[in-house]
A and B are shown apart, each in its own frame.
Chain A
């Protein structure tokens, strides 16, 4: 079956490139992995198109039995339905393009086989995740992508900051995994199976049931869904468990595009959509999902406003967009969440790869304060990122046409309004405000990077390149540096993704979120609320215009502050200093966690070790006994050999006594 090849070709390629490594050399490793991914991509699109035109139905391809323990039985198997098909094209397309892009971006790296092996390994794990037919295989993929993410964030392992970020990503995700695992345990306890279709079929019947958990009784489905959602929050970097994502930008930029924007971080959204009938059985859980999603969308957008590192701005933007997807799921618009996941994968990968192209051109400088005026030097990158920005800010004309985000993001905002619930209104309001912020920080990025005068010479990277200090350069703020447009392997993916960013919304919105087409397209692979989808298209005009107006306000403010009067940002920051600092320091989450989790863990560990083990258990146990023994007999020096013999003696004496007793009685 094609699906088997799609999933296992990347694994095979990863093994060849990874184990072959320096033996087979750079080019074969790159060729093998990239070909495998393009093959997987080529096989994935026909599957997707099959579901798009309604000619395919869901099927499961068994691979191998996995675990049998009483009632708990599950297999390795590949499930293909509409939801999987959507993820297949997202994962394989972006991955194939990122593989190709990396030919250019990683060209000078001495460790290329390892890099491509990791990328392919990641793709395999992600594909296992999206084709999972049971919760445990989903968890396998979940942890597999976590491993790949860890390895790729820490790819440049000589850098301490990259290592720290890698560990942070893995450990924070493990906090989420604690919830996921507990969710799986609970699900098995209640339903007696971990098979996803069986659970989803039984879930509605459990509405209103209660369960004892941690000493209290709670609503059953709420407990299960929230536990699983904690897992989703970890992987998708939602508020509270988001701290690893910005740090993950330590990894090479193609990794950020593939894993930390387009695919892995959306796994949480995928999980909630896959399990949507479960979540539908718990209104409380859905409320939590909505609120967490909305808060994340707003939080991340506020932080994104003030960051100066180009990758971090896009990282917070990703975090924020994931928040949108979650609150869409929370209000019951799972199809809208998946649609935004789909379009976001293209335009966010585009923005990241574009940023990579800028970084490549700017001699590894990532600080936007040292960019400026790059539009004329790297025009193709500029136009690609322009398309990405138009897509993410949701540019379009109501009733006519627009870029990808115009359909998907605005769809989410409208669905929140249309849901009619109080929490839906809350999400709608936050969604519009966050749209304004999104527009502002996205255009700020564009203006700082591509417009205005060059400020390159202030960058240490550029100074190293041109061997000049800012003083030596004088009035020539370029320092004589010449940014070059990226090579073909990098430009081709940008081009392909540009097409996606422009057209993905327009081409696919009928299938994904239209009330009638949508029901047929999704075909039961997620909970499709045709009524809500219908309402969504019937919202008042002001609601439809709200996000467009928000977008325009954001754009105008950015123009004013970064094109018209560029002394304004400093003035605003000065006037709103406390808020500015609060945003700049990411709401102090890292500092907080460091104080309440990291430091106490190490302190407790030291306490248990020195005071617990050595100061108490040993002191009153073996060491205390030693003192007694030593004072009781003056034979302490002979203890070494004495122990062995006395031990053997005691044992032998015991046995002899036993045998004698048995024989004489």
Chain B
């Protein structure tokens, strides 16, 4: 099993599950505390998991397997990539509970239960080693999200959840059919085995497309992104945090776990498709973000642009691209989560997401302005924050494949600066326009306790990303090796000059005569 002597992954699923059930039967305040304690316990278990993860050891660790019936088994296990994404989930969960502490006043027990169930399913997605188990967690994760948006959401929540449904349905049906075929072909539903299985070339193409249909929606990639702005706008703050922080990472995780290792040849064939959609997304959604008047919509559109950097990095098929994409996923999870929390802080005070209603918050909310600035800069990808590391690596990776894709994707750094600074200016700078804004108090201790940990991790990941990249290194290496045969040829093709090379000293003598 593992060195710990107890099935830690199952325990991490059991704790929030038990708490979720209990929450349904207790008073509002008890439910809050219960949810907080359960998520903190899971965070503690996550830290134990990270501490005991053997970097550079076996690829799959903490493996648990219990055959249920036929080929279907309760199979859990993680590699470094799954570990980091689980850490992201368990790190954000207590923050979400804290963010809902005062904002949610109706049906608190059910709300907390939905969130705890969400946590179970998120951890399940990253830990599942059986393809059908993965499917259950992957698709079921949407149910609590629907409930969160549909019950505790804004005025237009029905339309939002409807869109969410339509987009996801098509993809998930196709993916399920593809899974059947694969299991039948390979004779196993074990994910690690499938990752090494060489599917016939002619089948890879449609299998890849079937999975792509699901992951592209989850990512979301252009043009199947339009559910995201609506979902974010309607979701309560904590719902947005989890949506942007973890759910959007499932598409990328799907590419890493399924599309790339299982169908390497098809992945190469469809590089053009991924690159084209990603390049459009960077420019298109960034420009849309520039003209938004709703804070949450703006950040939602910026998420689409950032996720496009993930997909270009992944399909660069080299180490920098893959590692960059993973770091962008982690960083975006933290930064966009924090930005949604920042929106939530002022939404709780003024009950509007309309940017123009605010202004001059630096005057009466200086602490808020400082933290908001930090997360804005991390979103822009300022070196020293987590945003830079991932973006830089992804783009380095993709430059090795195509200078065109690199330059178009890099325009995101200009547009990103424009829309984020424009947002920051309208919210934090300028003069205070009305009395209700002037009356807004600065961050409470609870809010600082939510934002400060994220701020610390964002800086940590920016200055010393090694802590986060080391556990994933070996797995990225394995993926890179798996992709090596299919690796695309770059467009740089450096050719040395025909002229004899002068030594630097001789060269200096020659200069400027």
A: which residues have CB within 8 A of B? Answer: 18, 21-22, 64-72, 76, 136, 139-140, 143-144, 147, 150, 154, 157-158, 160, 163, 166-167, 170-171, 174-175, 177-178, 181-182, 184-186, 188-190, 201, 204-215, 220, 277, 280, 331-332, 419-421, 527-529, 531-532, 601-602, 604-606, 608-609, 612-613, 617-618, 621-622, 625-626, 639-640, 643-644, 647-648, 650-651, 654-655, 658-659, 661-663
B392 on interface, CB distance cutoff 8 Å? yes
Interchain CB contact under 8 A, A605 and B132: no
Interface window among B5-13, B36-44, B491-499: B491-499
Among B136, B179, B396, B465, find the residue whose CB has the most chain A CB atoms closer than 10 A.
B396
List chain A residues, Cβ under 8 A from B179.
Answer: 658
B421: chain A residues at CB < 8 Å are: 150, 166-167, 170-171
Q: Contacting A140 at CB < 8 Å: which of B292, B318, B384?
A: B384
CA distance A170 to B373 in the complex (A): 14
Contact indicator A659/B72 (Cβ below 8 Å):
yes
Task: Report B461 CB to chain A, min CB distance, Å.
Answer: 11
Contact B167 A209 (CB under 8 A): no
Closest Cβ–Cβ distance, residue A297 to chain B (whole Å): 21
Report the bound CA distance from A298 to B192 in whole Å.
66
Task: Give B residues with C-beta under 8 Å from A.
Answer: 69-72, 132, 135-136, 139-140, 142-143, 146-147, 150, 158, 161-163, 165-169, 172-173, 176, 179-180, 183, 223-224, 226-227, 229, 284-285, 287-292, 318-320, 323-324, 360, 362-363, 366, 370, 377, 382-384, 388-389, 392-393, 395-396, 399-400, 403-404, 406-407, 410-411, 413-415, 417-418, 421-422, 425, 428-431, 463-466, 469, 473, 490-499, 501-504, 507-509, 511-513
* Residue with the highest number of chain A CB atoms closer than 10 Å, among B172, B227, B507: B507
Is B172 a contact of A651 with CB atoms below 8 Å? yes
Q: Contacts of B492 on A, CB cut-off 8 Å?
A: 186, 189-190, 211-213
Q: How far is the CA of A420 from the CA of B384 in the complex (A)?
A: 45
Ordered by A's residue number, 28 sampled pairs between the chains whose C-beta atoms are within 8 Å are A21-B366, A68-B466, A68-B469, A69-B319, A70-B319, A76-B463, A157-B429, A166-B425, A177-B414, A185-B399, A185-B406, A189-B490, A189-B494, A204-B503, A207-B499, A212-B491, A532-B512, A601-B290, A602-B290, A608-B288, A609-B291, A618-B163, A621-B167, A640-B161, A644-B165, A648-B143, A650-B169, A663-B69
Task: Provide the main secondary structure of the chain A interface.
Answer: helix
Residues A639 and B162 in contact, CB atoms below 8 Å apart: yes
CA distance A72 to B161 in the complex (A): 43
**Bound-state Cα–Cα, A212 to B403, Å:** 8
A215 B429 Cβ-Cβ under 8 A: no
Instruction: Contact check, A140 vs B383: say whether CB atoms are below 8 A apart.
Output: yes
Question: Across the interface, which residues of B come within 8 angstroms of A527, CB to CB?
Answer: 508, 511
Chain B interface, DSSP helix/strand/loop, else mixed:
helix
Give chain B residues whose Cβ lies under 8 Å from the Cβ of A643.
Answer: 146, 161-162, 165
New A-B contacts (8) at CB < 8 Å, excluding given A204-B502, A602-B290: A174-B418, A182-B399, A185-B396, A208-B497, A209-B494, A212-B492, A213-B403, A609-B288
Would B430 and A163 count as touching, CB distance under 8 A? yes
Contact assessment for B226 and A644 in the assembled complex, using a CB-CB cutoff below 8 Å = no
- Give the residue of A163, A171, A188, A531 whose beta carbon is less than 8 angstroms from that of B513: A531
A651 to B170, CA, bound (A): 11
From known contacts A69-B323, A144-B383, A178-B413, infer whether A160 and B430 are also in contact, taking CB-CB under 8 Å. yes
Q: Report the nearest A residue to B424, measured CB to CB.
A: A167
User: A205: which B residues are within 8 A, CB to CB?
Assistant: 496, 501
Chain A residues in 8 Å Cβ range of B291? 602, 605-606, 609
- State the total of A-B contacts with C-beta under 8 angstroms: 273
* Chain A residues within 8 Å of B388, by CB: 143
A204 contacts B507, C-beta separation under 8 Å:
yes
B384 (CB) vs chain A CBs: closest residue? A140
Contact with A617, one of B70, B226, B428, B501 (Cβ below 8 angstroms): B226
* Chain A residues closer than 8 Å to B150, beta-carbon distance: 640, 644
- A663 CA to B502 CA in the complex, in Å? 73
Let me know if B143 and A662 touch, CB within 8 A. Answer: no
Query: How far, in angstroms, from A65 to B465 measured CA to CA in the complex?
Result: 9
Assembly CA distance A215 to B406 (angstroms):
13
Given contacts A69-B324, A655-B132, contact A171 B511 (CB under 8 A): no
Distance in angstroms between the alpha carbons of A659 and B73 in the assembled complex: 11
Distance (whole angstroms) from the CB of B124 to the closest CB of chain A: 14
Contact between A64 and B69 (Cβ–Cβ < 8 Å)?
no
Q: How far is the CA of A419 from the CA of B417 in the complex (A)?
A: 41
Minimum distance in angstroms from B68 CB to a CB of chain A: 10
**Within the complex, which residue of B166, B287, B382 is in contact with A601, where a contact is CB–CB below 8 Å?**
B287
- Bound together, the chains give a CA A254 to CA B288 distance in angstroms of 38
A625 to B71, CA, bound (A): 37
In the complex the two chains form, what is the Cα distance from A96 to B132 in whole Å?
65
Contact of B499 among A208, A212, A604 (CB under 8 A): A208
Contact A69 B320 (CB under 8 A): yes
Q: How many angstroms between the C-alpha atoms of A658 and B183 in the bound complex?
A: 10
Chain B residues contacting A528 (CB-CB under 8 Å) are: 508
**Is the Cβ of B226 less than 8 Å from the Cβ of A136?**
no
Asked if residues B162 and A529 are in contact (CB atoms below 8 Å), the reply is: no
Q: Is the CB–CB distance between B404 and A215 below 8 Å? A: yes
Compute how far the CA of A608 lies from the CA of B492 in the bound complex, rounded to whole angstroms.
Answer: 33
**Docked pose: A201 CA to B498 CA in angstroms:** 19
